[in-house]
Structure formats: C-alpha cells, structure tokens
C-alpha cells in the first residue's frame, strides 16, 4: 500500500494539514493500492504564498533560462518514462502501450515544443510611439484531469513556466500519483523553489479555495462542463482570468466519395483511444444515408477487433474505464439509449468476455439520429453513434447542432473540398482525411467545450497579459 501524507510547497515535501485520505483504486482489479492525504484551504494559502514569493524572480527570468528548464524537465521525464507509464496504468487503467506513447512520449514532446515555441511569441512590438509587451499573468491555479493525469497538468505547468508564471497545481483526486513526479522533474531541471507547488485534495475544498484565492491571478482547468462552469462562477467574483478545456461531442463527417472503410476505421480508433475517455474523441460518425448499412457493418467489425483486457499487457488496446463512477455513468448512457429504442449495432451492457472484475465496458456502436440523447450527451467511454445525412449541407448542419465545439473530422476525395467544409464547422480543431494532429498547433474549444487554447506558442500566450508603455 502506497501512502502519501505530503504536499509540495516551496521546493519541499511537507505534511498536508488535512485529516482525511483519498483512496486510489486500480480500475483493472478494483483494489485500493494507495492513499493520499487531502489538502485544505490552509494548504492552498501556503502554496499561493510560495508561488507569489517566487513570481518576482521567475517572471524576470530570461527566455533562454525558461527554455533550458523546460528541456531539462522533458529529459527527466523521458529518463523516468517507464515509471510514469506504470503509474498511469495502475491509476487509471490506461494500456501500457498507450501510456508509453500518448502519456509519456507526447508529454515529453509537449515540453520541448513549449521550449521551441518561446521564440515564436511576439514578446514586444511597437505601435506608433507605444511599446506593447507581453508579460506573465501571475500566479496560476492549475487543475488537472483524471483521464490524462500527467499530460493535462503538464500542458498547463509547461505553458505557465514558459510564460514566466508560477503555479499551484491540484491534480485529480482519482489519479493524484503521476502528477507528483513533476516535482522531481522540476528539481532535476533546476526550477527555482516556489515556481511549482502541488496540493492534492478535493475539488470542493482545494479547488474552490484555489479559484477563490485573491493571490491567484489565473485558473486553468481540464475537466467536465460542470466543473468548468463552477470555476468560471467562482473566478468571476474576483474577475480572475480562466482557461477551460472541457467536454466534446465531436462529429466525423464522411462525405460521398471518401474511402468509407478507412474513415470508419480511423474515426473509431480516435473515438476509442484511452477507452473513449478523451474530450476530443470523434464520437458522432456522419455518413451519407445510402451508405448507412455499410457504415454499420464496418463500424461493428472495427469495434469487435479491439483487444480488451489487462492494461499491463502490451497487446491490450482497450483497458478499463478509470473509475467506478465513470463505469456507472457510461453504462447509464448505454442503458438510456437502449430504453430510447436507438439501434444497437454492437456492444451493449454485457461485460466483455472473460473479464469478471474491473471497470470494463464493451466497445459499443449505436445507429440513430442527432436528436437521440446518446448523440447529444458526452459519454466519455468507448461508445459511438452513426448518424446518416442527406446532403453536404445536412452534414454541416448536424455537425454544428451540438452544445459542444472541441474537435471534428472531415473526409472527402478532394482535400480542398474537405477544408472548405471544415471551415464551416464550429469547432476548435478539425482533422482532414485522418491527418495526425500537430502538437504545436492550438487545442481548445468553442461553446461548452471551453475558453482558451493549449499547446505550442498559442498555449503560452494564454498565460500572458498585454502591457502598453507609452513614451
């Protein structure tokens, strides 16, 4: 049993002041393997004081120094990548091959991208007789997500450090262990004391205290729409800047003439990554009506091809959902869709064969309309819905008929045609014909999907304010 009593403040691990512990459960075995003491509002005060004290020096650091620290942090994470991946596998059941690639290697690349992107930021420009400078926003309260316990926090910490900000980090209570490793990587990189502080605890106590704290200048959260709304509400009381990376219900539009088999396969791989626990997952598959039956057959075959099981096995493609609450939530969505009479193509409520314990859900495909609840609500599990359209205009209408606007995909024989359609989709990111995402480009959403952008120099700029000097 792992037991952590401490939080990270001003470069040291010190005892948290809370009396309660949060149990950490391995979702593949349903067994408790760790306990982490919950922090308190008092601990947030201590962390904010350390971050405020460190801000004076770090905000004046050179671009070269920040880049050096970020690259050194990346080197340290890469060196200890096996430990990071193993921790994530145990915390959230992410398959080891995916954890090594998407949680470790991609996060290492994010840090290096931030270091490189520092030279792309326009730090100072002349406008007539005025000089306009970009300056650090201040002390940042960063709140991480359980579906990406190391990457979601590193995208915030890395960008904030690059901007010259200091950070108080609250990891997700579901997955609090991997983010603790950032303290080691920061120390290895020579990050000054107090620039990064880590306080574990609940959203209702530590999160609320952080967002409401007068010493916190900006809050960045990756989480649910409800959590984002609460952050914006509390932050408004002190007119605090916020960055929200929230939910999605993204459409993958497959236009007439596109390679249907390739588009279905690629789209479902995207939708089911991390067991479907991805905010930008392409969970609505839009196909021409005359190709609906063929699309259902292709989607069923692809869904049934996934290897489900032990996340420590390198051959496993789908692990369990990260926690019991999410398991029950996903099953609830599936049950309601069945009660609503939505056509079940494959999957459903039965457990995957041979898996009698763990929070496993069968890869599930529905076929319905955009008015079905399963097509409108974020499921956050390995569940997609196929929706037919009657024309290109109809496809665009359906894609935009959602409360979310995080991601999307467009498939067409002509790339320029696909881009023209993509430009009409109200979403923050669109993949054309399955093109891989460039991690230097901005990521973020419209509508209920959030406010602000992460990754690359756009991510850094979210942590900067403008100052005009006249004269």
Q: What amino acid positions are annotated as catalytic residues? A: 245, 279
Query: How far is Cα of residue 180 from the mean position of the Cα atoms in its chain?
Result: 18
* φ, ψ dihedrals at 463, nearest 5°: -105, 15
- β partners of residue 215: none
Task: Walk across the sheet containing 450-451 and list its strands.
Answer: 12-15, 6-9, 196-198, 166-170, 139-143, 218-222, 241-245, 450-451
Q: How buried is 251 (Cβ within 10 angstroms: 0-12 exposed, 13-18 middle, 19+ buried)?
A: buried
Work out the number of other CB atoms within 10 angstroms of the CB of residue 109: 14
Could you tell me the two tokens for 431?
A: 């993949």
Could you tell me the two tokens for 444?
A: 């973020």
Contact call for residues 199 and 169 (beta carbons, < 8 A): yes
Contact call for residues 174 and 23 (beta carbons, < 8 A): no
Contact call for residues 206 and 38 (beta carbons, < 8 A): yes
Contact call for residues 250 and 409 (beta carbons, < 8 A): yes
Q: How buried is 181 (Cβ within 10 angstroms: 0-12 exposed, 13-18 middle, 19+ buried)?
A: middle
**Beta strand pairing status for 31-37 and 21-26?**
antiparallel
d(CA 471, CA 468): 10
Quote the longest CA-to-CA distance of the chain: 73
Could you tell me the two tokens for 330?
A: 């996903």
Work out the number of other CB atoms within 10 angstroms of the CB of residue 393: 11
Give start and end residues of each alpha helix (H) in 237-341.
260-272, 292-304, 324-339
Work out the number of other CB atoms within 10 angstroms of the CB of residue 93: 29
d(CA 125, CA 89): 46
């Amino acid at each position: 049993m792992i037991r952590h009593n401490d939080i990270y403040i001003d470069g040291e691990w010190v005892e948290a002041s809370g009396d309660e512990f949060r149990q950490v459960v391995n979702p593949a075995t349903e067994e408790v393997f760790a306990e982490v003491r919950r922090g308190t509002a008092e601990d947030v005060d201590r962390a904010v004081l350390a971050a405020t004290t460190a801000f004076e020096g770090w905000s004046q650091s050179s671009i070269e120094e920040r880049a050096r620290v970020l690259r050194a942090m990346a080197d340290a994470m890469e060196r200890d990548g096996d430990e990071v991946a193993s921790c994530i596998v145990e915390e959230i059941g992410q398959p080891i091959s995916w954890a090594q690639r998407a949680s470790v290697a991609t996060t290492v690349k994010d840090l290096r991208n931030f270091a490189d992107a520092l030279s792309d930021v326009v730090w100072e420009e002349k406008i007539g007789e005025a000089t306009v400078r970009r300056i650090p926003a201040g002390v940042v309260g960063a709140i991480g997500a359980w579906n990406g316990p190391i990457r979601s926090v590193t995208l915030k910490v890395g960008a904030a450090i690059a901007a010259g900000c200091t950070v108080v980090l609250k990891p997700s209570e579901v997955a609090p262990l991997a983010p603790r490793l950032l303290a080691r990587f920061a120390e290895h990189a020579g990050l000054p004391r107090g620039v990064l502080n880590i306080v574990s605890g609940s959203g209702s106590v530590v999160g609320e205290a952080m967002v409401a704290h007068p010493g916190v200048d900006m809050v960045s959260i990756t989480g649910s729409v409800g959590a984002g709304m609460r952050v914006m509400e509390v932050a408004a009381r002190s007119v605090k800047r916020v960055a929200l990376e929230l939910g999605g219900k993204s459409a993958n539009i497959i236009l007439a003439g596109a390679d249907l088999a390739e588009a279905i396969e690629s789209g479902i791989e995207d939708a089911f990554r991390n067991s479907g626990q991805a905010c930008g997952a392409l969970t609505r598959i839009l196909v021409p009506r005359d190709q609906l039956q063929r699309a259902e057959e292709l989607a069923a075959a692809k869904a049934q091809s996934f290897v489900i099981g032990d996340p420590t096995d390198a051959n496993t493609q789908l692990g369990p959902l990260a926690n019991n609450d999410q398991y029950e939530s996903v099953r609830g969505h599936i049950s309601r869709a069945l009660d609503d009479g939505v056509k079940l193509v494959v999957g459903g409520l039965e457990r995957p064969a041979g898996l009698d314990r763990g929070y496993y859900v069968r890869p599930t495909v529905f076929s319905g309309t955009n008015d079905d609840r399963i097509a409108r609500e974020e499921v956050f599990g390995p569940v997609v819905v196929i929706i037919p359209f009657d024309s290109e205009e109809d496809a665009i209408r359906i894609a935009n008929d959602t409360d979310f606007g995080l991601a999307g995909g467009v498939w067409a024989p002509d790339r320029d045609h696909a881009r023209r359609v993509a430009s009409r989709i109200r979403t923050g990111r669109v993949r054309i014909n399955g093109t891989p995402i460039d991690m230097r480009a901005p990521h973020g959403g419209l509508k209920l999907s959030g406010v602000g952008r992460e990754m690359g120099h756009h991510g850094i700029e979210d942590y900067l304010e403008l100052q005009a000097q006249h004269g």
